[in-house]
Structure 1
Amino acid sequence: MKISKKHLIAVIIFISVFTEIQAQYGNGYGNGYGNSGGYGGRQRSSIPQAESAPEKPEPLTAEQIVDSEMPNITEALGLNPFEEAIVRTTLTKSIQKRIELQILKLTPEKTREAIEKIGKEQDEELKSALPEDKYEAFVELQKNRFKEKKKKNKKKKKKD
């Protein structure tokens, strides 16, 4: 059987076209979308995946912390606008210093000393700027809030 040149050329063209098609669309073992036998493309899993890792909420700034607490403080102490401005600036300044301390990551002893110093400065500023009764009410308010948080934590531990 003699093969003509036309048939030989047709077979060569057919083979080259077939290899092109196979290279583009996989070798027939895949799903027909070019993942070539399951080795590429997007894979499906029966295990549900989270869309993305939940982002950590950004820490509040000193101004944001004070803004959230000021309505309660103003109401509890009955501050006028001038006194409110003094308390706001003093608290913002001391909270900002505490945030900076956290960033520095000092030893526990140095951190404790620095926090005590910041607290004393805050107390001195508020004592000199506020009337005696409002200052005492502020100090009492701070103590009560701290005790309430401890009590809540103890109750939660007892329930668990």
Structure 2
Amino acid sequence: MKIFLNSLIAILALIVSSVEVNAQYGNGYGNGSGNGYGRQRNSIPQAQTPQEEPKALTAEEIVDNEMPNITESVGLNPFEEAIVRSILTKSVQKRIELQILKLAPEKTREAMEKIVKEQEEELRAGLPEDKYEAFEKLQKDRFKTKKKKKKKKKNKD
């Protein structure tokens, strides 16, 4: 009888302790695989997926984004707007192709100057003089305002 009582106590102790072990291991909450409510970190480091680079805009999309501002500021009629749109699209496309080629800095600068010169000549030929001057002023003012904003931010900090 004593042996039976000792074995019964031992069996009950094993059953009670096994329930506690299961509770610690995550019984029903991820089963120890780390998906439970406990610590969420995995001991094995995972390779982070690189963030996708934003898709590069096409020349047409870039020009489409800028045209409303240009049309409003310069006061272009639909025919002049079509001329400016085609010239800008062509020059932006050339600039994109130049960036893709990744030439030496000197060659890149020379090619950019050539593209700008061609764009100016085509715009001068396609637009009336007053609207061409307004367009040039708009481009110069756009660059000046960006520089002023940067200086103001530096002064505030």
Please list the CA deviations of residues 105-151 of structure 1 after superposition, one character each: whole Å capped at 9, or x if unmatched.
22221111111111011011111111111111111111111111111
Give yes or no for the alignment of 1:42 onto 2:39. no
The amino acid that maps onto 1:156 is: K
State the match for 1:73 in structure 2: 70
**Aligned equivalents of 1:74, 1:99: Cα separation in 2:** 23
* Cα drift, residue 46 of structure 1: 5.5
Q: TM-score, normalised by structure 2?
A: 0.70
- Structure 2 counterpart SS, 1:133: helix
Structure 1's unaligned 5+ residue stretches are 1-26
Counting matched residue pairs gives 128
- 2:143 alignment partner in structure 1: 146
d(CA) in 2 for partners of 1:97, 1:105: 13
Q: SS in structure 1 opposite 2:56?
A: coil
Consecutive unaligned residues in structure 2, runs of 5 or more = 1-20, 42-48
User: What TM-score do the two structures reach when normalised by structure 1?
Assistant: 0.69
Change (3 A) 1:53 1:123: same
Residue 93 of structure 1 pairs with residue 90 of structure 2:
yes
Deviation at 1:63, TM superposition (A): 1.2
- Find the aligned partners of 2:64 and 2:129 in 1 and give their Cα distance: 24
User: In the TM superposition, what is the alpha-carbon distance from 1:34 to its structure 2 partner?
Assistant: 9.0
Q: Distance in 1 between matches of 2:148 and 2:111?
A: 27
Please list the CA deviations of residues 22-67 of structure 1 after superposition, one character each: whole Å capped at 9, or x if unmatched: xxxxx9462224966x3x35365457xxxx8764432222111111
Structure showing greater relative contact order (alpha-carbon pairs closer than 8 Å, 6 or more residues apart): 2
The CA distance in 1 between the partners of 2:147 and 2:105, in whole Å, is 21
Deviation, structure 1 residue 153: 1.2
Contact 2:59 2:92 in 1 (8 A): yes
Change (3 A) 1:131 1:35: closer
RMSD: 2.6
Among 29, 32, 42, the residue aligned to 2:27: 32
Larger mean Cα displacement after TM superposition, 52-61 or 117-126: 52-61
State, as a whole percentage, how many aligned pairs show the same letter.
66
CA distance in 2, matches of 1:102, 1:122: 17
Asked if the contact 2:34/2:40 (under 8 Å) is kept, the reply is no
Q: 1:42 is aligned with what amino acid?
A: N
